[in-house]
Structures are given as C-alpha cells and as structure tokens.
Amino acid sequence: MDKATFGMIGLGTMGRNFLLNIGEHSIAGVGYDLDKEKRDLLMKEGSEMPLDVGKDIPEFLSKLSSPRNIMLLVPAGPIVDAVIADLTPHLNENDLIIDGGNSHYTDTDRRIAELAAQQIGFMGIGISGGEEGARHGASIMPGGTKEHYDRVEHILKAVAAKVDDEPCVAYMGQGSAGHFVKMVHNGIEYGLMQIIGETYDYLRRVKGKTAGEISEIFEKWNTTELNSFLIEITAIVLRKKDAETGKFLVDEVLDEAGQKGTGKWTSQAALDLGIPIPTIDSAVSMRQISAIRSVRDAAGEVFGKDLAERESSISTDDLQKALTAAFIITYAQGMSLIQAAATELSYGTDLAEVSKIWRGGCIIRSALLEEMRQAYGENPGLESLMIDAKFADALKAHTPNLRKMLSACTRHGIAALCLGSALSYFDAFRAEKLPANLIQAQRDLFGAHTYKRNDTEGVFHTSDWETADGTGA
C-alpha cells in the first residue's frame, strides 16, 4: 500500500483497536510493537484494511509519510519516555508524537518543551471509552498547539464516537490541556461510581434487596434523567450470575477497589489550583479505605460489623432523586476545576466543547451532559454549574431527597462519604455565612495572620485576644 498517514506504537488492546478503527475508516495506518504476536494479530484482524506493521522502529517509520504522525498507546510514566528516546534519533523536523495514554499533565508539558527544542511536535490526547471505544468510537480530548490539532483533526473525527452526527472530539486547548481534561474526567468517574456504590449499599443492607432486584431498580432509573453509561452498566453487573455457584456474581467479588492514580492526581491538581472537589476527594479516600482490609476487620471486631437499624422510610424514588442531585454536584466540581485550569494554566478550554465530547464514547457520558453543553454555551464564564437556572431548579427539587437519604444512611450506619460531601459542598456554597470568621480569628491569635472586618475596609490584627473587653485591639 501507499505510505501510511498515521502510525501507532503499542499494539495492546487499546492501540490495536484504535488502529483497526482508523483502518476501518479507510485511513492508511502502520503499527509497531516489540511483541511479534501483537503485530501478527493486527495484520490478521485488519487483513482487509489499509494497515501494515514494521518489525522495528526504522521499518515502522519508513512506512509513514512525512511529516509523520505517531501515536503512542503504552503505559504512562517511564515507558513513554523510553519510547520517545528510542524514536527521536530517527525523527525529522515537524514530525509529531501523540501520547494517547493516561499521562500526568505535568509530564506532558515537560515532553512538549523537550521535543520542541528538537523541532519535534508533541501532543497529549485523552481517550475515554476503553477497548470498545477505541474500536468503535471513543471520546477524544486533544491538547497541544492548534496547528498540530488541525493536522490530525480529520483522523480523530473519523474514529471518535458520534452523537447526533457530531464527533465526540474537540480541541481542549494549549499545552497539556487534553491530558488535564481526561484526568478530571476520571476524577468525576471516581465520584459518580462511589455515589452509585453508596446507593447500592443502602438498597442492599437496609432495604434488603438482592442484586437482581437492585439491577431492576437501576434499569428503571436509566430511563429517567439519570440515564447514563454508569447507571446502565450497574444494572448489567448486578444481574450477572456466577457460572460456578449460581449466585449473583457481584456478591462473590471482593470489596476492594483498585485505582491507577488519576483520581489522586485530580485531587492534587485541585489543591494546587485552590478548587474544592470534596466528592472526588472522598471517592479516592473510599477506595483507599476499601483496600485496608486488616484495619477494617479489626474495627469490625471492636465496634461490631453492623450498627444499622433495619427499618427504612425512604423510597426508591427518593434514592433516584438523591442520586441525581449528587451526580449534578459531582459534575459541577469537576467542571469548576477545568474552568480554573483554563485560566490559571492558560489552556483556554471551552467547557461547552468538553460537555459536547463527553456525551458519547466516554465512561461518564450521561443525558445531563447535553444540558451542561447548553449551560456553558449560553454562559461560557459560568462560575458553577449549580447556579445555572436549569441545574439550580433540579437541585432545589432534589436536594431535599439527598438530605433525606443521607440522614437515613447515618441512622442505619451506612458509610456515605461521597453523598455526604456532595450535600455539604452544596450547603457550603449556598450558606449566607460560613464559620471561616472563627478560623481567621484563631489564626490571628496564634500566628498574627490578620483579618478583614464586615463593617469597615482594611486589614486588622488584634494584639491581645485574651482581653475580653476589646481593649487589646
């Protein structure tokens, strides 16, 4: 075949399927992997497509047209740097390397600068959708220079998921914007999954529902405003039977949740930018708690494993509305973080575009995202999704149900860290006054940190807080 317009290094599940997706759209591609079996599998599965492989990097590069577009889909971290080091001696000016893995955004900025010094382009692209998305259409979040995005835009649009004939790909902004947006996507994913988990836990332990019965509830909820990929797959997971025992498989799965670090990165970035995302933070904490099996077992022996009452006065309708409110608040936290990064890190990210490309292909796709797209389209500077008129109406309607559910979880001894943090986040933002005045006064007493007053302009310090009559000011 003629020289390929797109190259892929890393022919594991994601890389192979992404390249097959490209080939299926009649775009000539070439792949490379150290593992010959993976190269052979690509050629077998893509035998009717304009695809080829190279047995080594020089042969791989010789099959690409110039300037070359080369995507890496390899594990994040040192392996990315190692592949770049292997590539660069063979590259020419204006060749472009595209990192499609879950790299930390600070690594992406470093790589952009290092390769720019060699006149080699570098882009970080977030890809969500897993194996299925890579093969049949993912949500794609590209960052880097606009010039580099324009160069590969037609390829990314061809292989992206489509919603209403619109491809779920858009330019996220300068530098590491693509990887930052994907990181926050994953942080939101952590929050939503834990909220679902806490709701499931209430239905299981308090309502006494079987996994099959809870599956039916989630299936029904997926026809409401909660319609989303995560609600859909929750119903699927819950109804699966174990072939060995005949029991519901989820009941046989050990309750220890793994993580690959993107949730933690989201929390760290939020702390650095001064943006509160307590529900995402709580989701990371709950995964960490789930992994501390020995301490959990010991605490269970000391305090008892079940402090719960067995009656429950809240309905599944209450739970559905509570879950909807918590979903909205979690999305709001993530979008506020992206909004801050758009300014503070000079990304220039358009939140309406983020909402648009998350509607299909990605793990956190939901019906709420079309309304989010409209909200940010009408008001690009929207400070919080919670104060958009439509979302504010939804929160006014549903937060009483969230309050009711959280009260019930507390009464029954059900851990609801994410549901609780979502409600407290909402309550903090709507409060007329927070207790930060007391905190600032304490800081002034022990550290002379000063304070501002409600009744006059300026900065003040009280030299003797122990004088009760005010003469120490």
DSSP 277-303: -HHHHHHHHHHHHHH-HHHHHHHHHHH
pLDDT (0 to 100) of residue 302: 86
SS3 for 369-431 is: HHHHHHHHHHCCCCCCHHHCHHHHHHHHHHHHHHHHHHHHHHHHCCCCHHHHHHHHHHHHHHC
pLDDT at 311: 62
Q: Are 351 and 378 in contact (CB under 8 A)?
A: no
pLDDT in 10s for each residue of the chain, 473 residues: 689 999 999 999 999 999 999 999 999 999 999 999 999 999 999 999 999 999 999 999 999 999 999 999 999 999 999 999 999 999 999 999 999 999 999 999 999 999 999 999 999 999 999 889 999 999 999 999 999 999 999 999 999 999 999 999 999 999 999 999 999 999 999 999 999 999 999 999 989 999 999 999 999 999 999 999 999 999 999 999 999 899 999 999 888 887 777 889 999 999 999 999 999 999 999 998 888 888 888 888 888 766 556 566 789 999 999 999 999 999 999 999 999 999 999 999 999 999 999 999 999 999 999 999 999 999 999 999 999 999 999 999 999 999 999 999 998 889 999 999 999 999 999 999 999 999 999 999 999 999 999 999 999 999 999 888 876 54
Q: Which residues lie closer than 8 Å to 220 by C-beta, 6 or more apart?
A: none
Which tokens belong to 374?
């409209």
Q: What is the dihedral sign for C-alpha 393, 397, 400, 404?
A: negative
Q: What's at 298, amino acid-wise?
A: A
pTM of model > 0.75: yes
Compute the distance between CA of residue 467 and CA of residue 473 in angstroms, rounded to an integer: 9
Q: In sequence order, which residues have a C-beta less than 8 Å from that of residue 398 and are 6 or more positions away?
A: 321, 322, 324, 325, 328
In angstroms, what CA-CA distances link 60 with 23, 70, 74, 201, 360? 16, 10, 16, 51, 32
- How far is 118 from 43, CA to CA, in rounded Å? 33
Query: Quick one: CA torsion of 130, 352, 150, 119, rounded to 10 degrees?
Result: -80
The closest of 297, 284, 218 to 254, measured between CA atoms, is: 297
The pLDDT value recorded for residue 102 is: 93
pLDDT of residue 265: 95
Which helix H or strand E contains 52, and what residues bound it? strand 51-53
Q: Are 280 and 189 in contact (CB under 8 A)?
A: no
DSSP per residue over 238-273, as a string? HHPBPTTTSSBGGGGS-S-----SHHHHHHHHHHHH
pLDDT of residue 369: 97
Length of the chain: 473
Task: Classify residue 393 as exposed, middle or buried by CB count within 10 Å of its CB (0-12, 13-18, 19+).
Answer: exposed
**From 38, 63, 189, 209, the catalytic residue:** 189
- Is 309 labeled as catalytic in the residue annotation? no
* pLDDT computed for residue 299 by the predictor: 85
CA-CA distance, 79 to 455, in Å (whole number)?
A: 58
Helix axes 229-239, 211-221, angle to 10 degrees: 160
| 3-class secondary structure, 332 | helix
Q: How crowded is the C-beta side of 196, counted as CA atoms within 13 Å?
A: 26
Looking at 38, 182, 264, 321, which residue is catalytic? 182
Element (H, E) at 124: strand 121-128
Between CA 255 and CA 34, with CA 127 as vertex, the angle to 5 degrees is: 90
Structure tokens at 203: 């239905």
What distance in Å separates the CA atoms of residue 451 and residue 67, rounded to the nearest whole number? Answer: 58
Return the SS3 of 308: coil
CA–CA separation, 195 vs 400, rounded Å? 17
H or E stretch covering 43 = helix 36-45
63 carries an active-site annotation: no
Specify the DSSP element, H or E, that contains 156. Answer: helix 146-159
